[in-house]
Structure 1
Amino acid sequence: MASVSLSKKLSNSRYNNWVKASLAVLITKEGIEPFVEEEIEQFQQKCLTDICNNHGLPSGTICTNCCTENVVNCPTNKICNVKHRKCSYHKDSATSFLLAGCPNKICHNFKTEIQKAHRYNGPSYKNTDAAQWCSKSWEVAKCFTPPDGYKDVVSASETDFNGVNSVIINCECFQTKVTDDLSKNGNIFDKGREIGKAVRHAPILEVVDNDLKQYFIDLDNLLSDTGHLISDNNAKLARKRLSELQNDTLLIGKDDVRKVLDDVAKVAHDNIKTQGDEFIKEAEKRKLELIETTKKSLETLGNKENITLAEVDKVLKSSIDELEKQTKVSLKRIKKATDKGVKKMKTETLKESEAAVDQVKQAANEELQKVSAANKQKEEEEYIAAKKSEYKHLFHTIQR
């Protein structure tokens, strides 16, 4: 029944809207990635320069020896908690907290700079490897992403829209390049983050027309911020592509469509593994069916790298039709199996009823036999009693 419900909802173009919204999020993310990477790299280099200047170290001093555990105090809330004198985060001597600090005077001071730069004073140290803070700027960026799910990403392109927006919002260095107040709820990047979440976690892969229209407005506002992005070439290109997508004139890369489908498929797989609610699991499975059907339909377009929105719409309609077809076949199988089961159940019930009747008859016969035997015994007793009375009377008569 879930598949039927899903296909009916999608048949009225809301699935098309969802794909459009997903592509809009992807285009926006690609439009701000270079800006975010550049700012984080500048923040990384400023931290290293300030550390060297403030602590009398030669310019260019770095450290690649300290792991994150070495610079994170034990215990630290939400990262490690000591129980029974043992810590699951600081497991051994190699991963213990260094009370004396980094031998090169870099890493513990770098941690302090990251801590000061975090808007909410809560860096996500579980995501990052301090040994790479001096060499890979995105390891620094990961301190400003949400606490879970970003440990293995190595660049902005591998980080989802939620993570990229979180870096901008949480790292205060970005405020100098953004006109909107990043400390306030509902700022342009906060709205962008919420759009990404809504699309990525849409329960039945649909977006209504009014929401889609607002998504385009909010994402365009994000890319048009007058602090920096309004003049950024990557953001300009993203705004142009967003406009073409909204007006159905954009040529779309097949790989981009696959990318947004694979991204949501990953979320669905994760939900199936972690969710305890069977209804949610079933909904996620239906979502995966639609995604896989859509990807197969994409293959019917041949070796084209770019496709029109009209071709995308055709693929999506084909996917929905195929899902409905599969659903009808499944329902026929279920009905056939149900009818067979009902017939079998009726036969078994009839046999059980007949057996029950036989048992009742047998019990009744046994009871009748008992009654008959009891009546016969009573008649014999009455006959004997009558005879005894008769003989007694005769005996008294003879005596007289």
Structure 2
Amino acid sequence: MAHQLQLEKEKYRQWVKAGLGLGYLKEGLAQFCNDIADQQHKDILQNIRSRQSLPSNVTCGSCQVETLKPDHTSEKNNGKKVCPLGQIKCSCCFKGKIACPNNICGAIYDYIVENQASPPPAPNWKITDAQQWSTDPWSICKCFINAPGYEQKQSAGETDCTGLLILMINNQYFHSHIECNVIKTDNLFSKVHQYRNNIFHSSSMELEESEANSYIDDMIAVLKDGKELFQQSDAQIAVKKLQDVSVNNELYQFLVFMELNYNDLR
């Protein structure tokens, strides 16, 4: 009965609506992100193998991020070693690092730093496994998600919409596949990323209808991005779900259904 009373509160239903919207947003983004991750991985390896005249099937599974020597070298500035790529505490500034025996991982390391959109370059080395870089696209993509909680995620499908949005904002390769200028302050993708924090960090678990509707409208706008996303079938399906959930009567019926099933299971 306590749950039923909660469902009677309009602002609570609006809060739930926004939360459901985040789930649908993730559904619309996941396959797109997986596809771009695969394409990026293919392009990285093709570029490295071509540039260094390596066999087309060469891979590496022996390097560790902590001990890997990047391909780029440090420079001297006022007698101190500094990273020419602008990274703070880069491995290029420390002795004892080990070059990749297959001439791949050091180049991938450089690529990740060079394609980090957030200044200064700050890849999330803690959640990636360099042993998988040459064979697993998502192990590279995770380096661009500068947030905790994604260590065990193996694909876009296992990653929530927050992680996917951060990836798309921080990974410059994705920028050429979306129309939105995510570098611009207060861009749409960053705004929707912030909505997640607003929703799940709400102590009252309440939202005004106008605010919830604004959140939903912007989630739809992300999925309708005019470069490639709007053509994706998963994105189109997610847009329809977001449009449906914005209808309060349908949402209320859904919540009542969930409450009845919850009571049956207790």
Q: TM-score, normalization: structure 1? A: 0.55
Q: Partner letter of residue 170 of structure 1?
A: N
Once residues 258 and 24 of structure 2 are traced to their aligned partners in structure 1, the CA distance between those partners, rounded to angstroms, is 20
What is the aligned partner in structure 1 of residue 106 from structure 2? 108
Q: Partner letter of residue 131 of structure 1?
A: Q
How many angstroms does 1:188 deviate by? 1.9
Once residues 311 and 222 of structure 1 are traced to their aligned partners in structure 2, the CA distance between those partners, rounded to angstroms, is 25
Which structure has more helix as a fraction of its residues?
A: 1
Q: How does 1:318-337 map to 2 (within 5 A)?
A: none
* Equivalent pair of 1:220/1:242 in contact (CA under 8 Å): yes
How many angstroms does 1:248 deviate by? 4.8
How many angstroms does 1:311 deviate by? 4.1
How many angstroms does 1:15 deviate by? 1.7
Query: How well do the aligned residues superpose, as a CA RMSD in angstroms?
Result: 3.0
1:17 aligned to 2:7?
no
Once residues 57 and 9 of structure 2 are traced to their aligned partners in structure 1, the CA distance between those partners, rounded to angstroms, is 60
How many angstroms does 1:147 deviate by? 3.9
How many angstroms does 1:314 deviate by? 5.9
What is the aligned partner in structure 2 of residue 221 from structure 1? 221
What is the aligned partner in structure 2 of residue 186 from structure 1? 186
Once residues 140 and 67 of structure 2 are traced to their aligned partners in structure 1, the CA distance between those partners, rounded to angstroms, is 16
Once residues 72 and 189 of structure 1 are traced to their aligned partners in structure 2, the CA distance between those partners, rounded to angstroms, is 34
Q: Partner letter of residue 135 of structure 1?
A: T
* Equivalent pair of 2:69/2:98 in contact (CA under 8 Å): no
* Equivalent pair of 2:69/2:97 in contact (CA under 8 Å): no
Deviates more, 1:96-105 or 1:36-45: 96-105
Pair 136,10 (structure 1): closer, same or farther in 2 beyond 3 Å: same
Which is bigger in relative contact order (C-alpha 8 A, separation at least 6)?
2
* Equivalent pair of 1:177/1:227 in contact (CA under 8 Å): yes
Residues 182-241 of structure 1 show CA distances to partners (whole Å, capped at 9, x for unaligned) of 111222211221112212222232222111010111011111111111111111111111
Structure 2: tracts of 5 or more residues without a match: 71-81
Residue of structure 2 aligned with 1:40, choices 34, 37, 40: 37
Q: Partner letter of residue 122 of structure 1?
A: A
Once residues 318 and 58 of structure 1 are traced to their aligned partners in structure 2, the CA distance between those partners, rounded to angstroms, is 58
* Equivalent pair of 1:162/1:197 in contact (CA under 8 Å): no
* Equivalent pair of 1:18/1:199 in contact (CA under 8 Å): yes
> Alignment partner of 1:213: what SS?
helix
Residues 301-345 of structure 1 show CA distances to partners (whole Å, capped at 9, x for unaligned) of xxxxxxx741414656999xxxxxxxxxxxxxxxxxxxxxxxxxx
> Alignment partner of 1:177: what SS?
coil
Q: Partner letter of residue 114 of structure 1?
A: I
* Equivalent pair of 2:88/2:122 in contact (CA under 8 Å): no
What is the aligned partner in structure 1 of residue 51 from structure 2? 54
> Alignment partner of 1:61: what SS?
coil
Bigger radius of gyration: 1
How many angstroms does 1:99 deviate by? 3.1
Q: TM-score, normalization: structure 2? A: 0.81
Structure 1 segments (4+ residues) deviating >4 Å: 7-11, 75-80, 314-319
What is the aligned partner in structure 2 of residue 144 from structure 1? 144
Q: Partner letter of residue 102 of structure 2?
A: N
* Equivalent pair of 1:24/1:242 in contact (CA under 8 Å): yes
Once residues 259 and 188 of structure 2 are traced to their aligned partners in structure 1, the CA distance between those partners, rounded to angstroms, is 31
* Equivalent pair of 1:27/1:242 in contact (CA under 8 Å): yes
1:310 aligned to 2:257?
no
Pair 97,167 (structure 1): closer, same or farther in 2 beyond 3 Å: farther
Structure 1: tracts of 5 or more residues without a match: 81-95, 251-307, 320-400
* Equivalent pair of 2:128/2:139 in contact (CA under 8 Å): yes
Q: Partner letter of residue 133 of structure 1?
A: W
How much identity, in percent, do the aligned residues show? 27
Q: Partner letter of residue 130 of structure 1?
A: A
1:232 aligned to 2:237?
no
* Equivalent pair of 2:230/2:236 in contact (CA under 8 Å): yes
Residues 62-114 of structure 1 show CA distances to partners (whole Å, capped at 9, x for unaligned) of 101112212277x984799xxxxxxxxxxxxxxx9763410111111111011
Once residues 317 and 169 of structure 1 are traced to their aligned partners in structure 2, the CA distance between those partners, rounded to angstroms, is 40
How many angstroms does 1:249 deviate by? 7.4
Pair 148,315 (structure 1): closer, same or farther in 2 beyond 3 Å: closer
Pair 100,131 (structure 1): closer, same or farther in 2 beyond 3 Å: closer
Q: Partner letter of residue 104 of structure 1?
A: N
Count of residue correspondences: 242
